[in-house]
Amino acid sequence: MNIAGDRSPSGRIFLMRHGDSRKDCVKRYIGQSDDPLNDRGRAQAEWWRAKLSSIRFSRVFCSNLARSMQTSGIIMAGRENLVTPLEGLREISMGDWEGLAMADVRARQPAEYTERGMNPDSHRPPGGESFADLLNRVVPVFRDISGREEGTVLVVGHAGVNRAILSHVLGMPLQNLFLIGQDYCCLNILGRGGGPIRVDAVNLPPFDGLAECSVT
């Protein structure tokens, strides 16, 4: 993998998902629960620290949830003064579904579960956000970052946050956002330089040498 730094007067935006933070291998709705990285997540961030060590980031922004701040802190070790946590980059709120197993929601609330799958842009879990709500919260933050910060900028967000940003940049219907892969600690590269922001790479994985579900 060849990752270059600035190639235009405005530079690039490296948009990353935080490292693995799961406590078990059950598929759950995890939104704004403030869980730390697990061992695998820390290893993923360490890999990116080595890989990105030659990149001169002008600024780093992250969600103010622990898993994003820890990912940023590991990658930017020795350069932590560049990191700014932002509440606006927090993951989508799952409301009453927070932390619940997807299988349990499907069994107990089948209509709600089906509705979210069919209309993720407009469906809100009880007490939570829809992806349209998330888009309206996140895009102004992203526009501010991309319009104000020169050079190569790192943004460490979440799966939902990153999908919303990429859907916006691509002009893609929000209803299709789950077609964009966002694995733990993946990297997306966005190019800037006098015209519309372009998507140069999506879902570049770290190499951590561990199985997909290796939770400790």
Between residues 196 and 5, the one the model is more confident about: 196
Note down the domain range covering 60. 12-25+36-92+130-204
Res 125 pLDDT > 80: yes
Beta-ladder partners of 55: none
What percentage of the chain reaches a pLDDT higher than 70? 91
Residue 212's pLDDT band, with cuts at 50, 70 and 90, is low
Q: Which residue has the higher pLDDT, 11 or 85?
A: 85
The mean of the pLDDT values for the chain is 91
Q: Which two tokens stand for residue 155?
A: 């943004």
Is 42 within the bounds of a domain? yes
- Work out how many domains the chain is built from and give that number: 1
Structure tokens at 140: 């102004």
Nearest Cα to 72, choosing from 173, 164, 175, 187?
187
Segment 192-203 mean pLDDT: 89
Dihedral sign for Cα atoms in the order 204, 62, 98, 180: negative
Question: The tokens of 159 are what?
Answer: 């799966």
Model pTM score: 0.91
Residue 175: the pLDDT is 92
Provide mean pLDDT across the span 181-200: 92
Q: What CATH number is given to the structural domain containing 69?
A: 3.40.50.1240
Q: Is residue 121 part of a domain?
A: no
Tokens read off for 175 = 């209803």
Query: Is 137 inside a domain boundary?
Result: yes
In a domain, 118, yes or no: no
What pLDDT is attached to residue 113? Answer: 95
Closest by CA position to 168, among listed 148, 187, 190: 190
Contact 167, 135 (CB under 8 A): yes
User: In whole angstroms, what is the distance from residue 162 CA to residue 75 CA?
Assistant: 18
pLDDT digits (tens, 9 = 90+) for 29-67: 999 999 999 999 999 999 999 999 999 999 999 999 999
